[in-house]
Structure 1
Amino acid sequence: MQDAALRLQNLAEQLVGTELPVRIRAWDGSEAGPPGAPTLVVRHRRALRRLLWKPGELGLARAWVAGDIDVDGDLYQALDLLAEFIWERADDAPSLTEKLRDPQVRAAARALLALAAPFLPPPVPREEMRRPGRLHRHTKGSDKKAISHHYDVGNDFYALVLGPSMVYSCAYWESPDSTLADAQRDKLDLIARKLDLKPGMRLLDVGCGWGSMAIHAAREYGVRVVGVTLSQEQAAFARKRIAQEGLTDRIEIRVQDYRDVRDGPYDAISSIGMAEHVGAERYLDYAHDLHALLKPGGRLLNHQIARRPQRDESAYSVDEFIDAYVFPDGELAPLGTTVGLLERAGFEVRDVESIREHYALTLRHWVANLEANWPEGVRLTSPGRARIWRLYMAASALAFEHNRIGVNQVLAVRTPEGGKSGMPLRTRQWGDMSPSGV
């Protein structure tokens, strides 16, 4: 009888049709695979049951969250090596159903089934979000539940990961040697300058998080800010920070859906890392709502992650791991789609800046913060939640590095009738920090 690791390696290679680039260590302590490569640790045969009951990314995700599988070695290297089997499958690659028409593959699947015995459905990790069907997504109630799932996991945990800036979006790096705190400050200041904030202006910060943009705008630029979030924990944390800064007379934090904001017009709107939650079917409404809340001549800064366009957009599906464990109901759109919808809502798009590499650097710093404080991160949440964040941030860093996804700052204006946008002739005069080396 072969050791479990060698059997797993042989069966997996028959199923995927190529050699595995990583080693395997099985529950019996045996190992197989290329020497020196990162090791995929299969701690329990229950991991096989998860994959057989839910083939694909969601089964892998459940095994990872439950601790049934792990990586020994460089996590980034392991994910890079496994990307072609998980995220980078060619559009014309055969599905598992198609592969099972091959007698050899069917035999391998039966052998894997025997190795996984007893074939009982494993419990779903408690960190997975259950929700109604797609027809009920992006209602105010479902959005509030999804936001709470992601953000109400404890402010102390986020502080551990994000650092003192408490900014949960892509930083803006002068160089890879900059500190995370400096890069986040520079990002907030870049947005403030793109919006041309001046003392006395009113700023609406949509998806205000823990209040960092609101505080920076009020303290450094003398504006009055309304910040809205659906997270009770974020709002409580932001209000406490604002009181400590002595800015309660300039900043109001509301637990409110942006669709319920009725006290416009505002001079400027910032939406930083929030639009990914809106959903494709609601995005034009989102753009119309923000357009209506701006005064003529007012500016919107929309900072948003984008995915690459697909040859068949109708076949696009969300990432199962991200949807179940990280950003429930979150959706990414190509940049061109976002710009087009903003223009359809009446905005004049004046500037687009891609800062994809900056997010990769940011995520690597967040991963390093979590790994350096791993026992505390587990204590503040749960082992499963900490594992979710480590995997999601490391995989996302690689996705930005390899151009599978990007992030863009889109500056748009509610241009008044007559066409006087109020924009400077040289629109990039705000960008006096020229990033280098990224």
Structure 2
Amino acid sequence: MKNHGTDGDWDVITGHADDPYQPRVEAVYEDDPATWRAVIGEELWFQFGLYDDAPSSPRTLDEAGERYFDRQLDLAGLPPRAPLGRILDVGFGWGTTLLHMARRYPDCPRIDGVNISGPQTRYTADRLARAGIADRVRLYRCNAKDIELIPDHDPPYDLVVLRGSIGHLTPATLEAATKAISVRTADHAPVVISETLFTIPLDAYRSAIPDEVDRLACGNRKTLAYLMDVLERNSFAVRDLQQLPSAREAVRWLAAVRGRIERHVAAPAPRPFEELRDVADNLSAALRAGTASVYSVIARRLP
């Protein structure tokens, strides 16, 4: 099914089975992108940021977010203008990573983006059209478990990106998505992951704020050990694993976001921003205690 935005298009892929958790994730991203820009930065980077302790350390959320993604792509061995034939971005948000990759890899003829949020997909379609790159980027409103249904199995993907999306997936959806990605990824191609993962058994974790709600649809927590197992069972070998950004940098990013909620979102704040404020407090405590970390994972598809 083809859908049309103000300036851009996207396709809808409907799988064979429903995901009962999908509406909860969709509800997180229903608010006006203008409000999200006020909270996480004009360019809408939404997966932490790198600051580093250096005179050139970024001063804005946008700079820190871009710097983090570029560092991951460098770790994956993909400098600017690397020869890539096809890219997949799972959970592309408001299109920031898609736009960035289209500019970093201008000779890549096809970039596929997957997202289940209608508002985010519409915003991204218009954004890419205004940037003049809609002809190279194909958007699919698609549950991650249905990646196997994306058209054109050839050529396979030379790069797959999952940044912050795994936290929204149920274990069953993560298993299905990883299996599909494995089938559709070229041998030796990198998968770039950024995710908050727990370093202790989940039954031993205690939230700083009582877990009375599933905040930001991230209630399906995952440990680092579990993600490593899922990747290994689907023919991926981890080539680089780091706590990146550091706990201090991640806490700094969360504090900046929390402060922007206080300054720019009128009370009572919409539910996602109330939840984001609580997540900032909860996660900062876990990061300081070492019970959770933000990890950069670079894996490669084994032949």
Establish whether TM, by shorter chain, passes 0.5: yes
Matched, 1:148 2:26: yes
Q: Paired residue for 1:252?
A: 138
Amino acid of the residue matched to residue 295 of structure 1?
Answer: A
* Structure 1 residues 270-281: aligned runs within 5 Å: 270-281=161-172
| Distance change >3 Å, CA 283–CA 220, structure 1 → 2 | closer
| Distance change >3 Å, CA 288–CA 359, structure 1 → 2 | same
| Distance change >3 Å, CA 323–CA 413, structure 1 → 2 | farther
Amino acid of the residue matched to residue 88 of structure 2?
Answer: L
Amino acid of the residue matched to residue 286 of structure 1?
Answer: A
Q: How many residues end up aligned between the 2 structures? A: 271
Q: Paired residue for 1:131?
A: none
Q: Paired residue for 1:289?
A: 180
Structure 2 counterpart of 1:190, from 46, 63, 71 = 71
CA distance in 1, matches of 2:282, 2:224: 21
Matched, 1:225 2:111: yes
Deviation at 1:154, TM superposition (A): 2.6
Q: Paired residue for 2:94?
A: 210
CA distance in 2, matches of 1:321, 1:274: 24
Deviation at 1:385, TM superposition (A): 5.2
Please, what is the CA RMSD of the aligned residues?
2.5
Task: Say which SS state the counterpart of residue 188 (structure 2) adopts.
Answer: strand
Q: Bigger shift: 326-335 or 220-229?
A: 326-335
Q: Paired residue for 2:213?
A: 324
Deviation at 1:286, TM superposition (A): 2.9
Stretches of structure 2 lacking an aligned partner (at least 5 in a row)? 1-16
Amino acid of the residue matched to residue 289 of structure 2?
Answer: H
Structure 1 counterpart of 2:302, from 407, 415, 422 = 415
* Structure 1 residues 75-90: aligned runs within 5 Å: none
Q: Paired residue for 2:4?
A: none
Amino acid of the residue matched to residue 274 of structure 2?
Answer: R
* Structure 1 residues 97-112: aligned runs within 5 Å: none
CA distance in 1, matches of 2:21, 2:265: 30
CA distance in 2, matches of 1:385, 1:348: 35
Q: Which has more radius of gyration?
A: 1
Amino acid of the residue matched to residue 352 of structure 1?
Answer: L
Is contact 1:140-1:257 (8 Å) kept?
A: no
Q: Paired residue for 1:344?
A: 233
| Distance change >3 Å, CA 385–CA 280, structure 1 → 2 | closer
CA distance in 2, matches of 1:202, 1:385: 33
Is contact 1:322-1:392 (8 Å) kept?
A: no
| Distance change >3 Å, CA 386–CA 281, structure 1 → 2 | closer
| Cα-to-partner distance string for 1:181-230 (whole Å, 9 max, x where unaligned) | 21111112123323444244211000111111111111122233111100
Once the two structures are aligned, what percentage of the paired residues are identical?
Answer: 20
Deviation at 1:406, TM superposition (A): 0.7
**Higher share of residues assigned helix:** 1
Matched, 1:393 2:280: yes
CA distance in 2, matches of 1:217, 1:328: 27
| Distance change >3 Å, CA 155–CA 273, structure 1 → 2 | same
| Cα-to-partner distance string for 1:275-318 (whole Å, 9 max, x where unaligned) | 112223443333222111201121111211111223xx6x4689
Task: Say which SS state the counterpart of residue 266 (structure 1) adopts.
Answer: coil
Structure 2 counterpart of 1:403, from 280, 283, 290 = 290
Task: Say which SS state the counterpart of residue 189 (structure 1) adopts.
Answer: helix
Amino acid of the residue matched to residue 288 of structure 2?
Answer: E
Q: Paired residue for 2:58?
A: 178
Q: Paired residue for 2:35?
A: 157
| TM-score, with structure 2 as normaliser | 0.80
| Distance change >3 Å, CA 321–CA 213, structure 1 → 2 | farther
CA distance in 2, matches of 1:217, 1:390: 30
Tell me: higher relative CO, structure 1 or 2? Use CA pairs within 8 A at least 6 residues apart: 2
